[in-house]
Chains A and B, each alone.
Chain A
Amino acid sequence: MEDKLQELVVELLGDGAMEYFIGYRQGFEPSHVVPCFVTDKSEADRLIWGPLCLQNLSKYVLQARDLDGKVGLLVKGCDARAIVELVKQHQIERDKIVVVGVPCEGQVDPRKMEQVLGVSMEQVTDVEDAGDEFLVKVGGEVSKLGKEQVLRDKCFYCKHPTSFDYDYTLGEVQPFTIDSESEEYDAVEKLEELPLEERRAYWLKQFERCIRCNACREVCYGCYCKECIFDRTDPRWLDRTPLPRENEIYHLIRAVHLAGRCIDCGECERVCPVNIPLGRLYKKLQKDIAELFDYEAGMEYDTVPPLVDFELDDQDPFL
């Protein structure tokens, strides 16, 4: 798969229409995969693909807005929906990006793998995909791990990877299926069933841990505002001090801004240095948006986001 990718990139870079190609490369240790910007054919061999290519690279295309050439991008099905939204929200033209789709067989959640292996990810030198298992090499010997133990949450309900109009695909892209009893909204429903005070305590504890490093905002494709509302001084909605109530305002308002736009790529939860389960907050929004307005983000270019649209017969509990 990787050589097919590298040949394609060499070819694409060859005809000069592309400024650079955004993919993944090996980081400082084998289990650490990082984004890679290939500007020259010679660097194409650094590109890799595997179950540890976790980042959603779509947001990087925004940097190509003021370049005259195109930008190439390697993207998983679930992350491609961000391109649809970025085009729909007038941030970039579709023909400015060359999108290379890759068949994805499920991705590893490093935190889960560390718990299961009982060893830190540093020791893991290779993870390979093998049907419904991962071949994990730790210090020389290889062990088999059932995927359902270490899979990223979003991979349990992998949907719509085929809904995107890729320019190229490395092999046949179709949804990754795994039989597991966990349903898409399990975590959300579990929280919803908690009594109110417990939920209140749960979330206040999370918001208290937040150090307001803004990683969830900077990694999210949907947060591309030139000047974020939290950075404004007229009026000052939020203080920069990470006090629990300020953090709560920050997370709730960001959630409202992403309502109907969040494509559930899971990056905000993955990069959070203090492990705040942001995925649950945004999953709850997706559940409501689907139920209330029968809408899913990142599917079509021409649909109108739900919160800026209405139906005459919308649900109306407020009469």
Chain B
Amino acid sequence: MDRKKISKADLGRWLDTIAGKYELIGPTEDEGIIQFGPVQSSAELTLEYANSLIPPKSLFFPPVESLFAFRKRGEEIQLEETKPLQQDRVIFGIRNCDVGSLSLLDRVFCDDLEDSYYRERRERTTLIALACPTPPRSSCFCTTFGIDPLSPAGSDILLTDVGDVYLVDAVTDKGEELVALGEGLFAPLTEGEEKELQPPPVDMPQLDVRELRERLEALWEDEYWEKLSLPCLGCGICTYVCPTCHCFDISDVGSTSDGVRYRCWDSCMYSDFALMVSGENPRPTKRERTRNRYFHKFSTFPSRYGTGYACVGCARCLVHCPGGVEITEVIKDISAKEGVSDR
């Protein structure tokens, strides 16, 4: 589908028609916190935001979700699966870094042992990405990991703000279906517009991630991790705000005769995450846990799933870490270490 445009005023109308047919989810502000949540009308949305605090990953892999309810009637036990969604959804305003994270999470949840809850939410959701404003936030570094803030890749529709209109690139059938829903509101671009209605190029500092994985893997025994983990407090913020983290815990709430099995987010940074009942812990101190987190992102995830690095440069962990452990600093330190190419 070729590029179209929509006026800023018509955008609201389009989203309202969508809200009539789908569950519309978009960025809203609540007590200073930007979050993605269901809205009845486009008026509740906000457009002044860089990104949400809790990533839209929470809409596919929620902080807490019920897997099934169990009830004991006499001798029998009945299990009742929980339906993940009541209605098809449209997510408006997702940034490209989060779109990129979803494709990474797909590799985890939709492998041969497919997670049906995640899969259903992914299938019944249409993504309307919103290109990041320029200049990008100074903390963002998504281009380092091949994320292009202006590309529709991975989403169904990309809207790009070029002054008084939005450029509309629908790249999938689901995207086209949505555009068809508001057919009167879109207009094709004239030749002239095609040329000058271009978003300004994104200039963002690039981190050097050449051979990051190989240099990292050489540091398994290095005492760098000891020093890096000193300010780390072992709280769970970096993993809970990270769009590519997918660790979770499963626990039963209720009694042996009546209750629910929940899945909820968990963090590899918690001291008892891998603690075994025998008392042994493969990652007993913060040093091992910090090392494990960066190895997962830059070594084990790419080698296991054959993808790029499991980081999309959204900088959420950077901004919110109370101890000031900065992933960009770690990347710089590792790439400063002697790599294969400079030997």
Contact = CB atoms under 8 A, between A and B. Distances in A.
A211 B240 contact: yes
A215 B326 contact: no
Contacts of B68: none
Please report whether the interface of chain B is mostly helix, strand, loop or mixed according to DSSP. loop
A215 B236 contact: yes
A241 B236 contact: no
Interface in B311-343: 318-324, 326, 328-329
Interface string A263-277: 000010011011100
B237 A242 contact: no
A241 B64 contact: yes
Nearest to B266: A240
A28 B262 contact: no
Nearest to B234: A218
Contacts of B318: 28
A213 B326 CA distance: 18
Contact of A35 (B53, B262, B323): B323
Interface string A43-65: 00000000000010001100100
B253 A243 contact: yes
Interface in B61-85: 63-64
A34 interface: yes
Contacts of A28: 139, 318, 326, 328-329
Interface in B15-57: 31-33, 50, 53-54
Interface residues of A, number: 40
Interface in A88-114: 111
A303 interface: no
Interface in B277-324: 318-324
Contact of B230 (A63, A219, A267, A270): A63
Interface in A190-232: 211-215, 217-219, 227, 231
A34 B326 contact: yes
B240 A273 contact: yes
A239 interface: yes
B270 interface: yes
Interface of B: 31-33, 50, 53-54, 63-64, 137-139, 227, 230-231, 233-237, 240-241, 249, 251, 253, 262, 264-267, 270-272, 318-324, 326, 328-329
24 contacts: A27-B324, A32-B319, A34-B321, A34-B326, A36-B324, A59-B233, A122-B139, A211-B240, A213-B237, A214-B267, A215-B236, A215-B237, A215-B322, A218-B322, A219-B233, A219-B322, A227-B272, A240-B249, A241-B264, A271-B235, A271-B237, A273-B53, A273-B54, A273-B237
